Structure 1
Amino acid sequence: MLESLRNIVQEVNAAKDFGEVLRLIVHLVKQVMNTGMCSVYLYSPSTNTYVLMGTDGLNPDSVGKVHLSTREGLVGLVASRAEPINLEDAETHPNFAFFPETGEQRYRSFLGAPIIHHRKVLGVLVVQQQDRRRFDESEESFLVTVSAQLAGVIAHADATGELDRLLNPREVAIHERIYPGVASAPGVAIGTVVVVAPSADLNAVPERRAVDIEAELCQFRQAMEQTKRDIRALDASMVGKLSDEERALFDVYLRMLDDHAMGGEVIGMIKEGLSAQSAWAQVVLGHVRMFKSMKDSYLRERASDVEDLGRRVLANLQQGETKRTSFPEHMVMMGEELSAASFADVPLEKVAAIVSVKGSRNSHMAILGRAIGIPTVMGAVDLPWGRLEGEEVIVDGHTGQVIVSPREELRQTYMQQIYEEKLLAADLEKLTDEPCVTADGHHLSLWVNTGLRLDSQLSLDRGAEGVGLYRTEIPFLMLDRFPSEEEQRKAYREHLEMFAPRTVTMRTLDIGGDKDLPYFPIEEANPFLGWRGIRICLDHPEIFLVQLRAMMRASEGLNNLSILLPMISNVPELESALQLIYQVYDELTEEEGYQIEMPNVGAMIEVPAAVYQIRELARRVDFLSVGTNDLTQYLLAVDRNNPRVAELYHACHPSVLRALWAIAEGARGEDTPVSVCGEMAGDPIGAVLLMALGFRVLSMSATNLLKVKAILRQVSLSEAEQLLEEVMLMPDAGSVWRHMEKALKKPEVAALFRGSSNVH
């Protein structure tokens, strides 16, 4: 059975379309199970029925014509129960129904298995036999297994519109399609799709021998130089938009083309007699396979960078290629696996949104999207991107949705949203210099989370009172090696100077989990529970001490530095980290003569263990900062980047609220300042709850700062505390969220809830 299942999966994966998938399934399952008939019924939302869409054993002309209601016949019973039904004599069952139009003979035995994807019954897979036959347990398990495999294929066909076209072939108009992805940079845009997919196909290059080796070498070097010029031009266009550390990615691309790297390998193969195109394709594909085979997610994503560079050089080798010169005014860059180098072919000022089929929130393209302020959706795995050139789409960076060919009503709704967001943004600008004071006179400090130069400038423009979280790992991510002490000092000094005299809270290197360095791979079966954050820093003091030195040296004369330690889970590791911090301070001040004030040192509370030792930790530090993203993830056992369980992630879950209450109480008991730097702080509802819980410093993305300030100025602390008292008794996150929305959606604050989805 297992071998048969493998064969079925292989043949299904090789099918050219969804119709062929259904034909293969019924034929192969009938063959393997040695039955008289196999059929598949699929759910049609438009008719609320299960439609016969594939059969081997019934009249093929009945495909698409037999409709069963959700409780009609044995098929309807399987669907309504969402469990297999195995009958030796189906005709005796009260739900048995005979449909003469199928041309079926009187099949007596019946085995049906539901096809379920994300709790939704998509269809039913059925086998039947003329004779009385009780299908045994292994056969039942086999059909259930095939159904589970088929569920993903049907869900994909549903997402891409293939299922709708198959169920409704006579409908001329294809309605709008909504494709889910990973929200990676906020905002909404409506634009025309420009597919970014170089025509050069590395896999289609034949192996050819060089007729003239010197001519091939000359052609190859010219193509390499042209590609380098393209990358340098892109690098130059980003000056002022990205910092030096962020733009260092383009230097990595250039070094990959160097004669001592991939370029050198190709030159060697050309000298051995291969043509330039053949040699280049072989070398690039070899590197791509190497990266794709790596377990580390960050390094696997680098395969797209190598492949992108490979296509660009190949395009320059193929001289007949003509480059696009005209672009729509509001263009949506779309491709299977976009990388930062994709910007080289398009005018940045015309890009309204970015959509990539592959990638995650931590891909370079997503980082650039957030830095430049372009709505970005990554991981839209079901998107038929190759067929969307020139189509109008809506990209919703708040929800991660991509809407193709939207109805005019929906388009107008989003146009109105864009218009209202512009009006709201202009209106909120008036609050930039206003204090964040509640309706009953209580002051809150609104700080920002930053890491990119653009974030910092926007933060200052929005009136941020300080930096609650500066992500120091970003300069590390943008290089192909560990940055030196002096490189780090310059980067940190720039941010400290920008915000002086405001406090800048610099989190020490926080890698691991979903943030791996290309030159420091971490291979773990469960990275979020593994070697990350402070654990890595303590295990590698040579990295940690250099960073601490760079931070403190950068603060000389400014003295606005605070140091934040991530992923603290016990007292001994906190004390070990503090010992190293004091060691560095003593070295710099007593041995090297730097005039530096001892920075405040804080611990991040993002691990459940830290919640239950909050007072012990609070006694040892100058402040605490709550990372609600990881704290929620760990408390609820939900990977928020996993689309299968992401809907279970909700920072308004009663368990999370109770943990936050315990943190605030513990910090108050030790008279230790406590702030929140997770995404919950940047959400209007989340901010109101945090204020009620006792947090008086909230740190968030600069784009959310004025929106949060506006709602906190409209709500009184006493009102917030009353709401908190009410929701703390509620059983689930949905109840909490609905109660807060209803209570806070007054006319004067309703607009502030637009795109309010960060915490759930």
Structure 2
Amino acid sequence: MLETLRKIVQEVNAAADLESVLDVIVRRVQRAIRTDVCSIYLLDRQRERYMLMATQGLNQKSVGRVSLSVDEGIVGLVGQRAEPINLEDAATHSAFTYLKGTGEKKFHAFLGVPIIHHRTLLGVLVVQQKLIRKFDESEEAFMVTMSAQLAGVIAHAEATGSILQISDHTKNEADRKFEGVSGCIGVAIGPAVVMTPLADLDGVPDRKVDDIKAEVATFKRALAQVRRDIKRVGRSLAKRLRSEERELFDVYIRMLDDNALGGEIIARIKAGSWAQGALKQVIGEHVQQFSMMDDPYLRERATDIKDLGRRMLTFLQESGPSLSEIVFPENTILVADELTPAMLGEVPTEKLVGLISVHGSGNSHAAILARSMGIPTLMGVVDLPYTRVEGLNVILDGYSGRAFINPSDDLIQCYQEVIREEDEVNAGLEGLKELPAETTDGYRMPLWVNTGLIADVARALDRGAEGIGLYRTEIPFMIRDFFPSEQDQMETYRKQLEAFAPRPVTMRTLDIGGDKPLSYFPIKEDNPFLGWRGIRVTLDHPEIFLVQIRAMLRAAEGLDNLRIMLPMVTSVREVDESKRLIAQAVEGLREEGHNITQPLIGVMIEVPAAVYQVRRFARRVDFISVGSNDLTQYLLAVDRNNPRVADLYVPYHPAVLKALQFIVLEAHKENVSVSICGEMAADPAGAILLMAMGYDVLSMNATNLPKVKFALRGISFERAKALLSEIIVIGDADKIQAALSSRLKEMGLGQLTQPTMPD
């Protein structure tokens, strides 16, 4: 059964559209179970009816015509119960409804299984048989497994189908909506530009060309280069290979001939596709055909074809315009399978208005960087067929986590009004730069910023930041192909320290692992968030740690505004060992003649183990800083980069609020200051609660600093403490969020809450 399941899923994944997907499923499942009928009923939510969309065994003329209401028939019952229904004689069941014209009267045995994707009911998969009998347990188990495996494919095929209809202009299907997770609030409207990694065939977007002759010529040049490349490799290996093995290279070259792959690709180009898209289509079809073969030798040829495809794509991409030469349209919305920090620098800042990532979540590293740049961002839009949206108009709603493809004029008008309201609020905050974050009864709250890029500095100073609470030193490491030298690091750090001097700059030591890998220092683990990351990596590699510490200390020479922060600590041993290495670096530089001042040293509280050791840490360090993003992740056991559980990642969870309050109370018992640099501090409501808890510093992305300052200046410290007392006893995160929104509106701070979005 497993092999049968593998083949069905493989064939379904390669199907071109929804109709083909459903046809493959009903044919293959009918054959696998050896039943008389297999049918798929998909739920049409607008009409609230189940439509017969594919069948093997019933009357084919009824496909697309026969339907059931959501509470009609046994199919409707399967959907209502969201569980399988297995009957030996369906006609005797009270819910049975005969569907005229299908020819199902002669069938008795019935097994229906719901098709559910991310808690959303898509339809019902049904098998029927003439015999009066119950399907056995193995058959039912196979159907349940098949339904679970295919739900995502069907959802994706539905979405892809709607996008194809839009891009081909065969149907004016406007306002196609896709759900994701907000990475940065705000609204953006503009054309989609798809960015893909090099030599990634699956990620090549569909794109039409006007100059077909030039595109064919481009492809032929790439083809010639691939031929030369294969011949060169064959010659270099000739002496080490047997004659039959050398013939493989001849086979490769023949596969590129005009009557083979090369000719098929050129035919697709002449039909209007750009070369890379034509290549993806042809290679994909051939890989699918070979992968489905029973013969192991022939099945392995799929790997050869993939290799050829990647080689051709590499040459096509090299011959095409470089990223720096691409003309990006105004109001570009960048779309990627997986958004990376490097991609943010590829588009001119003045052209970029929004970011959409198919994978990742609202708290991934890329999303955090997007927030620091103030760009509305959507993450984890897993059902978006991103390769199909190139050039289509998009509305990105960073408040509700939705993207609309090909939006209607009415919807565009509604969202343009939201953008206008946003601009008005932001314009009203511009005068706050020189004013302190001081409550109406005189309580002063220092507001610092989180930075990672040199561009963040000007933005932060422009918004009145009083210091840097978190400088992510891993960013200079992530945008390189090798470890930066001590001198390179020193020059980078010096820019941050000089720009803010004499204001404090908190530099977190290298924090890689989890969602922050380095291409040249790969960390492969089954569960990287519970693995080798943060201080664990750098203490295992003191040569990396010491070079970085030396670079920080040298950068701060004569400025003396450096604070060093240790990430991901779980034990006092890690703190003691880190302090010893820092002392070693200080002493070494002094011996070399540098005038080095001992910096303040602090730790980040990010894991539950650290929460209950705050006082122990406080006795060893100069300051405590809370990383509320990771702390929330670990307290709730929710991977913040996993869009499947993104709705479970809630900063206002009662357990998170209690932990945050406990940390600041414990640290203050040792007279140590406590800051917080997670995204909760960037939310006006969160900032009010954190101030009331007693946090000494709030650090946030520069974009949100004016809103937080406005909120704190609009409330008294006593009122904030009263609000905290009210909120801290509520036992449900949604109720906490609703209460906070309600209280902000009562205090006249309603403009800082999420605007009312179009339905």
Question: Into which bin does the TM-score normalised by the smaller protein fall?
Answer: 0.7 to 0.9
- Alignment partner of 1:506: what SS? strand
The separation in 2 between residues aligned to 1:513 and 1:466, in whole angstroms, is 27
The separation in 2 between residues aligned to 1:530 and 1:210, in whole angstroms, is 41
- Alignment partner of 2:450: what SS? strand
The separation in 2 between residues aligned to 1:719 and 1:309, in whole angstroms, is 62
Q: Any conservation in 2 of the 1:182–1:380 contact (CA below 8 Å)?
A: yes
What is the CA distance between 1:26 and its match in structure 2?
1.4
The separation in 2 between residues aligned to 1:532 and 1:152, in whole angstroms, is 32
What is the CA distance between 1:19 and its match in structure 2?
0.7
What is the CA distance between 1:43 and its match in structure 2?
0.9
The separation in 2 between residues aligned to 1:672 and 1:344, in whole angstroms, is 39
Specify the code of the residue in structure 2 equivalent to 1:486: Q
Query: Alpha-carbon deviations, 1:175-199, whole Å to 9, x = none?
Result: 3112245655554322234566698
Aligned to 1:483: 484
Aligned to 1:226: none
Q: Summarize the alignment of residues 436-447 of structure 1 with structure 2, pairs less than 5 Å apart.
A: 436-447=437-448
Query: Alpha-carbon deviations, 1:604-653, whole Å to 9, x = none?
Result: 00010011111111111111000000000000011111110011001100
CA distance 1:362–1:119, shift in 2 (3 Å): closer
Specify the code of the residue in structure 1 equivalent to 2:699: S
The separation in 2 between residues aligned to 1:307 and 1:184, in whole angstroms, is 35
What is the CA distance between 1:694 and its match in structure 2?
1.6
The separation in 1 between residues aligned to 2:15 and 2:661, in whole angstroms, is 55
CA distance 1:48–1:395, shift in 2 (3 Å): same
The separation in 2 between residues aligned to 1:732 and 1:364, in whole angstroms, is 28
Aligned to 1:299: none
Aligned to 1:311: 316
The separation in 2 between residues aligned to 1:89 and 1:162, in whole angstroms, is 38
Aligned to 1:500: 501
Aligned to 2:748: 748
The separation in 2 between residues aligned to 1:410 and 1:147, in whole angstroms, is 35
Specify the code of the residue in structure 1 equivalent to 2:76: G
Q: Any conservation in 2 of the 1:308–1:339 contact (CA below 8 Å)?
A: no
Unaligned runs of 5+ in 1: 218-268, 286-303, 318-322
Aligned to 1:704: 704
CA distance 1:44–1:211, shift in 2 (3 Å): closer
The separation in 2 between residues aligned to 1:597 and 1:212, in whole angstroms, is 60
Aligned to 1:551: 552
Query: Alpha-carbon deviations, 1:556-612, whole Å to 9, x = none?
Result: 1111111100001111111111111122222333x2333232111101000100111
- Alignment partner of 1:122: what SS? strand
The separation in 1 between residues aligned to 2:459 and 2:49, in whole angstroms, is 53
Query: Alpha-carbon deviations, 1:695-734, whole Å to 9, x = none?
Result: 1310000001010010111122222222222222222211
- Alignment partner of 2:603: what SS? strand
User: Are positions 1:416 and 2:421 aligned together?
Assistant: no
The separation in 1 between residues aligned to 2:455 and 2:726, in whole angstroms, is 40
Q: Summarize the alignment of residues 540-619 of structure 1 with structure 2, pairs less than 5 Å apart.
A: 540-589=541-590, 591-619=591-619
The separation in 2 between residues aligned to 1:160 and 1:210, in whole angstroms, is 32
Specify the code of the residue in structure 2 equivalent to 1:467: I
Q: Structure 1 length normalisation: TM-score?
A: 0.80
What is the CA distance between 1:463 and its match in structure 2?
0.7
User: Are positions 1:523 and 2:528 aligned together?
Assistant: no
The separation in 1 between residues aligned to 2:595 and 2:310, in whole angstroms, is 44
Aligned to 1:456: 457
Q: Any conservation in 2 of the 1:190–1:395 contact (CA below 8 Å)?
A: yes
Aligned to 1:138: 138
Specify the code of the residue in structure 1 equivalent to 2:535: I
Q: Answer with 198-207 or 411-420: which moved more.
A: 198-207
What is the CA distance between 1:125 and its match in structure 2?
0.8
The separation in 2 between residues aligned to 1:460 and 1:316, in whole angstroms, is 37
CA distance 1:161–1:683, shift in 2 (3 Å): farther
CA distance 1:337–1:664, shift in 2 (3 Å): closer
The separation in 2 between residues aligned to 1:715 and 1:347, in whole angstroms, is 39
Aligned to 1:688: 688
Q: How many residues align?
A: 666
The separation in 2 between residues aligned to 1:542 and 1:338, in whole angstroms, is 31
- Alignment partner of 2:101: what SS? helix
CA distance 1:650–1:308, shift in 2 (3 Å): farther
Aligned to 2:670: 670
Q: Summarize the alignment of residues 255-270 of structure 1 with structure 2, pairs less than 5 Å apart.
A: none
Q: Any conservation in 1 of the 2:222–2:316 contact (CA below 8 Å)?
A: no
What is the CA distance between 1:159 and its match in structure 2?
3.3
Aligned to 1:296: none
Aligned to 2:40: 40
- Alignment partner of 1:438: what SS? coil
Specify the code of the residue in structure 2 equivalent to 1:431: L
The separation in 2 between residues aligned to 1:711 and 1:756, in whole angstroms, is 19
The separation in 2 between residues aligned to 1:695 and 1:365, in whole angstroms, is 27
What is the CA distance between 1:402 and its match in structure 2?
2.6
User: Are positions 1:177 and 2:199 aligned together?
Assistant: no
The separation in 2 between residues aligned to 1:305 and 1:641, in whole angstroms, is 29
- Alignment partner of 1:562: what SS? strand
Query: Alpha-carbon deviations, 1:6-32, whole Å to 9, x = none?
Result: 221122122221112112211221121
Query: Alpha-carbon deviations, 1:104-127, whole Å to 9, x = none?
Result: 223221111111111222111111
Q: Any conservation in 1 of the 2:183–2:371 contact (CA below 8 Å)?
A: yes
The separation in 1 between residues aligned to 2:341 and 2:595, in whole angstroms, is 41
- Alignment partner of 1:74: what SS? helix
What is the CA distance between 1:424 and its match in structure 2?
1.7
Specify the code of the residue in structure 2 equivalent to 1:518: S
The separation in 1 between residues aligned to 2:687 and 2:398, in whole angstroms, is 21
The separation in 2 between residues aligned to 1:626 and 1:372, in whole angstroms, is 22
What is the CA RMSD across the aligned residues, in angstroms? 3.7
Q: Any conservation in 2 of the 1:154–1:163 contact (CA below 8 Å)?
A: no
- Alignment partner of 2:104: what SS? coil
What is the CA distance between 1:212 and its match in structure 2?
11
Q: Answer with 367-376 or 118-127: which moved more.
A: 367-376
CA distance 1:92–1:163, shift in 2 (3 Å): farther
The separation in 1 between residues aligned to 2:501 and 2:164, in whole angstroms, is 58
Query: Alpha-carbon deviations, 1:436-477, whole Å to 9, x = none?
Result: 111222111100000111111111111111100011111111
Aligned to 2:117: 117
The separation in 2 between residues aligned to 1:574 and 1:210, in whole angstroms, is 54
Query: Alpha-carbon deviations, 1:232-278, whole Å to 9, x = none?
Result: xxxxxxxxxxxxxxxxxxxxxxxxxxxxxxxxxxxxx9xxx999xx9
CA distance 1:642–1:308, shift in 2 (3 Å): farther
Q: Answer with 573-582 or 173-182: which moved more.
A: 173-182
Aligned to 1:80: 80
CA distance 1:593–1:452, shift in 2 (3 Å): same
Q: Any conservation in 2 of the 1:159–1:178 contact (CA below 8 Å)?
A: no
User: Are positions 1:190 and 2:189 aligned together?
Assistant: yes
Q: Any conservation in 2 of the 1:561–1:599 contact (CA below 8 Å)?
A: yes
Q: Any conservation in 2 of the 1:371–1:454 contact (CA below 8 Å)?
A: no
Query: Alpha-carbon deviations, 1:128-152, whole Å to 9, x = none?
Result: 1121112111000001111112211
Unaligned runs of 5+ in 2: 196-204, 210-214, 233-248, 257-261, 263-275, 281-308
The separation in 1 between residues aligned to 2:694 and 2:346, in whole angstroms, is 50
CA distance 1:472–1:514, shift in 2 (3 Å): same
What is the CA distance between 1:335 and its match in structure 2?
6.1
The separation in 2 between residues aligned to 1:754 and 1:715, in whole angstroms, is 19
Q: Any conservation in 2 of the 1:601–1:622 contact (CA below 8 Å)?
A: yes
The separation in 1 between residues aligned to 2:628 and 2:31, in whole angstroms, is 54
What is the CA distance between 1:329 and its match in structure 2?
3.9
- Alignment partner of 1:30: what SS? helix
The separation in 2 between residues aligned to 1:749 and 1:674, in whole angstroms, is 27
The separation in 2 between residues aligned to 1:620 and 1:182, in whole angstroms, is 39
CA distance 1:121–1:163, shift in 2 (3 Å): farther
Specify the code of the residue in structure 2 equivalent to 1:192: P
Aligned to 1:427: 428
Q: Any conservation in 2 of the 1:41–1:50 contact (CA below 8 Å)?
A: yes
Specify the code of the residue in structure 1 equivalent to 2:582: I
The separation in 2 between residues aligned to 1:621 and 1:601, in whole angstroms, is 6
Q: Any conservation in 1 of the 2:186–2:398 contact (CA below 8 Å)?
A: yes
